[in-house]
Structure 1
């Protein structure tokens, strides 16, 4: 830990290991870092759970059903967003594509789709939807795309600075980069503290604020707009309440999710944000 960094919070992995990790605040970039961070070859074991929904098409249980319901709505919003930002259909790279649903939806709209996904189970499920995924960004070296997207993926990537440079190279001049990440400065994050499900250690290695995202991408990108992900506060609050109290469903959690969105109308600090960047040149 560097001298200017300080411990922000201790958080447990409630999904897989029950291990505890520290969140370290970096005032220069205004974000949190998970400490210690598992080695790259060890990370995969922390994803080995049927409850890790983004790597499955599971539809049983409350959280899975809610997730799949919201996902259907969000796919429509995402495909409209990339069309608006690109001002037409073009080439698309989705980083961390999971089971391929977003790329499938974009392909049906006419996009030339490509994607990466390191998880083998998710890749197999994507292939059943006729979506072929590569294992890493290195497979696209030398290529460029009209739109590059990372939907709740940047927080998972070990080599952050190196990845940002690769992303910059992958976006065409004046092309679009879209990033969605949780916001640790939201009301629901502050309310649940160590139980906030979107900390999701150690799968989430970084925990961003709006300021940190702007700072990290300022060199090569212009930030055009920030949009809220209003359903995230409800889903995250339900899961946080489960971690805190053991209750699989809680009206209180829904109230906290609503309250978070209402407060964010004033503070602009939603549970998660979508950042739309334009490559400078």
Structure 2
């Protein structure tokens, strides 16, 4: 039986199933866990939606158009970030590569690219761009890379502890690990509460704070820097307002996104963060 005291918030799957889930707080880690968590073999059905745009190249509709516009801008900055963190181009593994756009840009900039993507539709779209992806991390056993990236992927993995151990083996000594995840300590998360779109249960099985990410990776990695993802607050707020009030577009959501970034300047708690680690062991 669940301990009601451990329930941080109860949320709903607005994208696919309409099911309700509890997010349980691990106070020691500063981590939320989706409960109940779907069995691994059942997870794929929660991604079966045309609105899950990270698995498509769809540009129709407001949210898809905004997502693709921001993605185009961010790809250039992601490529610049990995170059700066690594010191030069080298070997790159992108975990959860989606439709392969990041790896395509990285490849065009001289990186030797590899990636994983379990979704068949996204994998096929990446292949059409000349990016060959593997279905899971196990296929890279024994290999190591200069840079490993997870852009909004860690929150999706079924076995968090095992994934972290695997990542430690995949990054070369003194190599770089870059992780981007939503932050449930942000202003927009607190404002929207159970409607906050970045909870996205049950596709998001874990929900991170800065404290949890640093603690989870401290054994094998040293934190180099934390960078805010300033556009996430706007996109997430627009979706959250849609879930809360049914508005296809909301000026209020833009204001909340702006306010979240403004407050983040002092609290250092933004809607999403990029964590840059260096492998030390």
Band the TM-score falls in, shorter-chain normalisation: over 0.9
Q: Separation in 2 of the partners of 1:23 and 1:3?
A: 12
Q: Out of 4-13 and 107-116, give the one that drifted further.
A: 4-13
Answer yes or no: is the 8 Å Cα contact 1:221–1:277 preserved in 2.
yes
- What TM-score, normalized to structure 2? 0.99
**Within 5 Å, which residues of 2 pair with 1:73-222?**
73-222=73-222
3-state SS of 1:113 partner:
strand
Matched, 1:57 2:57: yes
Structure 2 residue aligned with 1:245? 245
- Which residues of structure 2 form unaligned runs of 5+? none
Q: Separation in 2 of the partners of 1:51 and 1:128?
A: 21
Question: Structure 1 stretches (4+) deviating beyond 2 angstroms?
Answer: 1-5
Structure 2 residue aligned with 1:71? 71
Q: Separation in 2 of the partners of 1:220 and 1:2?
A: 33
Structure 2 residue aligned with 1:232? 232
Cα 1:177/1:272, change in 2 over 3 Å: same
Answer yes or no: is the 8 Å Cα contact 1:144–1:171 preserved in 2.
yes
Deviations along 1:74-111, whole A, 9 cap, x unmatched?
Answer: 00110000000000000000000000000000000000
Deviations along 1:176-200, whole A, 9 cap, x unmatched?
Answer: 0000000000000000000000000
RMSD of the TM alignment (CA)?
1.1
Cα deviation for residue 28 of structure 1 reads: 1.0
